Amino acid sequence: MSLSFKDGVYACIPTLLGYIGIGIAAGVVGKSSHLSVLEVTLLAVIVYAGAAQFIIAGLMLVATPITAIIFTVFLVNSRHFLMSMATAPALRQYSLLNNIGIGTLLTDESFAVAMNALSNKEPINASWMHGLNLTAYIAWILSCLIGALIGEWLPNPMQFGLDYALVAMFIGLLYLQLISDKTKSLKNRLIVMLTVAVMLVLLMRFVSPEMAILISTFAGCFMGIAMERNA
């Protein structure tokens, strides 16, 4: 049976806690960085990236040049090239407009949900992806708006543990993906994760954190491709 837009909405629900928690925190941080409620909301609408929004707010607070902000955000978000390339083969039969819409709203969380569905042989389609992505997008915008509105009364979101919500959500997604794999696939995934972790620790000594993450991600991708071809 073909998956529907509504199925995509349902698939997004387990990730909403992460979006809401980090979104509120991003709104609070943006407001404490002297951005207006409108500016915080526009960041959520246009940038739509938690880490990038935190970086933008922090760099603007110390009067960083706009070129440095743009370059830093580009490096942080360059991983989306990899996520889009990994998702594209499953959606190549759909129109360019559909693929642009899917790629534009693809996030770490929606990518993880989509990859989990593909690993379970679920027939994902454009409607399902739109339901998944739009639900997350709307939740993120509303959460950032709420965070900006209550920012004056919540100056330090870290004391409530909101900064850990995204990490906790990814741990849950990773667990669900690992337990759904066969033994051979599980072994391969563990090797890939170990490769990324080791590369990240080593590279952090020599390059910026953004470049270390990007290079480590490429290394993990190449390792995964190599193991799949040798399987």
Counting Cα atoms < 13 Å in the Cβ hemisphere of 185 gives 9
pLDDT for res 229: 66
Residues 172 and 208 in one domain: no
100 contacts 130 by C-beta, under 8 angstroms? no
Q: Are residues 127 and 196 in the same domain?
A: no
Q: Are residues 226 and 121 in the same domain?
A: no
Instruction: Mark whether 163 and 57 lie in a shared domain.
Output: yes
Q: Is 79 left (phi over 0), alpha (psi -120 to 50) or beta?
A: alpha
Q: Tell whether 159 and 186 lie within a shared domain.
A: no
The reported pLDDT for the residue numbered 216 is 81
225 and 115 together in one domain: no
Compute CA 83 distance to the chain's CA centroid, rounded to the nearest angstrom. 9
Quote the CA–CA distance of 64 and 8 in Å, as a whole number: 39
Query: Are 128 and 192 contained in the same domain?
Result: no
CA pair distance 106, 136, nearest whole angstrom: 9
Q: Which amino acid is at 115?
A: M
> Which of 140, 159, 180 is a domain's end point?
180
Distance of CA 104 to the CA centre of its chain: 12
Structure tokens at 97: 């407009």
Residues 165 and 62 both lie in one domain: yes
- Total domains in the chain come to 2
Q: Is the pTM of this model over 0.85?
A: no
Task: Give the pLDDT score at 96.
Answer: 92
Predicted pLDDT of residue 102: 95
Check: CB of residue 88 under 8 Å from CB of residue 75. Answer: no
Residues 89 and 166 in one domain: yes
Residue 215: per-residue pLDDT: 82
Residues 81 and 168 reside in one and the same domain: yes
Predicted confidence at residue 18, as pLDDT, reads 80
Q: What is the three-class DSSP state of 2?
A: coil
Q: Are residues 56 and 165 in the same domain?
A: yes
pLDDT (0 to 100) of residue 210: 64
pLDDT tens per residue, the chain (231 residues)? 678 999 999 999 988 988 888 888 888 888 878 889 999 999 999 999 888 888 888 778 777 788 878 887 887 788 788 888 889 999 999 999 999 999 999 998 899 899 889 888 888 999 999 999 999 999 999 999 999 998 877 656 566 665 565 566 567 656 666 665 554 566 777 888 888 889 888 988 888 776 777 788 778 777 777 776 665
Task: Output the CA torsion 222→225→229→231 (10° steps).
Answer: 110
Look-up of token digits 């993906």: 177
> Domain check: are 168 and 204 in the same one?
no
What residues make up the domain containing 207? 181-231
pLDDT of residue 183: 47
